[in-house]
Structures are given as structure tokens and as C-alpha cells.
Amino acid sequence: MSNPTMAGSGKGGRAPRAKSAATIYDIAELAGVNPSTVSRALSKPGRVSAKTQQKILDAAEELNYHVNIFARALPTGKTQTVGLIVADITNPAFFDIIRGAETAASDRGYTLMLAESTESAEHELTAAKRMLATVDALILASPRLADEEIQALARKKPVVVTNRRVAGVGSVVADTEAGVADAVRHLADMGHGSIAYVAGPDRSWMSRLRWETIKERCDWHGIAVATVAAGAPTVDGGRRAAAVVRKAGATAVFCYNDLMAIGLMRELQAAGMNVPGDLSILGFDNIFGSDFTTPPLSTIKSPLRELGVAAMAMVLDETVQESGITMESTLTTELVLRGSTGRAAGHS
């Protein structure tokens, strides 16, 4: 490495690009065989005699040969690439999904191609269509697209969605049931009698599922519950919900995700409210940084990484793809109690 103190603005020479790479013809010549034999030896080992195989391998090594994936893709249509579209790269909830998917992909010799839809169905469709031309398969993480659009994509290439169910399309979702059940039970124990929900984007299937699960558990415990606001699934979205939440008069509030919960909490605190003294706050996902706040956020943890791994495994699973069966897999969530939840206000 050159020395940092050498830093400065300016220009310098640049090395020229390398000449064209070796092809199977070069190998064929060097090994004294036919190009098609080289192709066989390199792509499906076993269809060629042991000694020619070795000659070819040696020649390839010597010439520093690498397949041209475009040339290969032309007849086969396969690129060893899979696309992943996330709503927002900036949302830490997607990190581990991306990580999991990337790991699972490279384990299988595939490369990940990442795009973001910036929470817009339109961008998502554009990105999906552009990718579809290039990739062997596509994963849609928390898509904002309509069912029909997703089904249309799935008609062209294998598609798997995460945190969403779409008829006829493979999917893996984090089950909200377990985490929410524990959370509501805990709140009931702490004397909370009125709970609010701050929803995410209208198009978010997961926001609706979370709400329905919360509602169901609250009804079961005889706790009053209502959706009091909806907004962008961001810190800012949470902030903007603060006024309404405050007026709602609940003693505890679930937010669609941790980002919103953090924004809400900070805005409320800035307005002089005490968390959890005046209000208990819960998020979803357990993202990076959700324990940085004061108090640290209580949340319902999603198995993010596993979601990514499972989605990749599913979309690349040949037997499933061939069979025409639609897989649906469910991973479980877990309550993580930290400092943002406590006894109901005025409850001893």
C-alpha cells in the first residue's frame, strides 16, 4: 500500500488493458484435441477419458483459462446468478437477509445481484424486469408489488418472496405468532389494558399480518387495541406518528418495525414523555442498533439471516423447481425484552 501521506489530487499514468483471454480453441490446440472435447471435459467431467481430461486440465491451467459466461449463457440461458430485490438497503432489517442469501448463493457457486426498490412498487417492477433478463432466479424481499405482478414474474423465472404469501409462488415468512403471543401476554401481565399499533406502508403484507396477529392476541386477552397510525417504515415515519400515538391514550404501542419504534420513541422523549414509564414501546425485527437507544428497545426478533438462506435455498432447489410444486416455509420469531417496555402507567 502506498503511504497515506502521499495522498493528493492529481493524475498519473495508467496501465493498458490486457489482451483477449484464452478460449477452448486455444486449449484444444495445445492439448491436441477437438474444441468440443474441451467443452465436455470442462463442463461435465466424466464424459471424457481420464488422460485427455488431464491433458485438457493442464492446458487450461497453463493458459489461465476462464469460461466466458456470456458465451456459455447464450446456448444454455444459465448465468449462475440470482437477483435479490429489497425495499430499502438502508434498513438494517435487510442486512442479514442479504448476508444470508449471499452466503447461500456462493456456497452453491452462484453470484448475488442486488437491487433496491426504495419502497416503490414501480421501481421494484423496473428492477425486477431488468434483472429477469440476466439472472437464473429472483428473490423478492418484502415486495410491494401486487400478487398478479409477482405471479407474472414467476411465470418467466423461478421466484421466491420473503415475508409475503402469494398464491403459486414460493415463499418464506417469519411467523409472527410466537413472538406476538409472548409479547401480548407479557403486556397483559404488566397491566396494560389499551394497546396501539403503528402500521407500516399500506402495501406491506407483513404489516397487515402483524396487525392481525396482534389484534387476535389482544382480543384473546381482553385488551383494547387499535391501529392509530400508518407511515413509512423508517425512523422518520415513526417520528411522524408520535403526535397521534400520544393522543391515542394507549399504555403500550407496537410499531410495524424497529426503525419506526426508534423514531417514535425519540420523538416522544423529546416531547417530555417517559419510556416505558408513560408508554411501553415494542418494535419488530431486532435490527442492528435497536439496543443503542435509551432505553434499549424491546422487540420481536425475526430470523433475518435464516430468511435469506431459506429463500436462496428454495429458489435454487432444482427438484422443487422442476416438480412445479410451490413451497411455503415458515420460520419462527422470538420476543426480546429490553428496556422500552414496563408496567402500565398508573399500574402498580
Partner DNA sequence: TTGTAAGCGTTATCAC
Partner DNA sequence: GTGATAACGCTTACAA
- Binder of residue 35, out of its own copies, DNA, none (CB less than 5 to 8 A by kind): DNA
When asked if residue 13 is in the footprint of its own copies (CB under 8 A), the reply is yes
Residue 328 belongs to what H/E stretch? strand 328-332
Q: Which 167-186 positions form the footprint of its own copies (CB under 8 A)?
A: 167-169, 173
Q: Pick between residue 42 and residue 337 the one whose CB is nearest to DNA.
A: 42
Q: Phi and psi dihedrals of 136, rounded to 5?
A: -85, -25
When asked if residue 68 is in the footprint of its own copies (CB under 8 A), the reply is yes
**CB of 293: closest distance to its own copies in angstroms?**
5
Among 82, 93, 102, 268, binds its own copies (CB under 8 A): 102
205, 261, 251, 206: which is closest to 229 by C-alpha?
Answer: 261
When asked if residue 47 is in the footprint of DNA (CB under 7 A), the reply is yes
**CB of 64: closest distance to DNA in angstroms?**
12
Exposure pattern of 136-151 as b/e (b: 16+ CB <10 Å)? bbbbbbbbbbebebbe
**CB of 29: closest distance to DNA in angstroms?**
11
Q: Pick between residue 25 and residue 288 the one whose CB is nearest to its own copies.
A: 288
According to DSSP, the β-strands at 137-141 and 81-86 are parallel
- Binder of residue 25, out of its own copies, DNA, none (CB less than 5 to 8 A by kind): DNA
When asked if residue 43 is in the footprint of its own copies (CB under 8 A), the reply is no
According to DSSP, the β-strands at 298-301 and 280-285 are parallel
Contacts for 136 with CB less than 8 Å, ≥ 6 apart: 78, 79, 80, 81, 82, 110, 157, 158, 316
**Sign of the dihedral defined by the CA atoms of residues 184, 230, 146, 121, in that order:** negative
| Residues found near DNA in the complex (CB under 7 A) | 20-21, 23-25, 32-37, 39-40, 42-44, 47-49, 51-53, 65-68, 71-72, 74-76
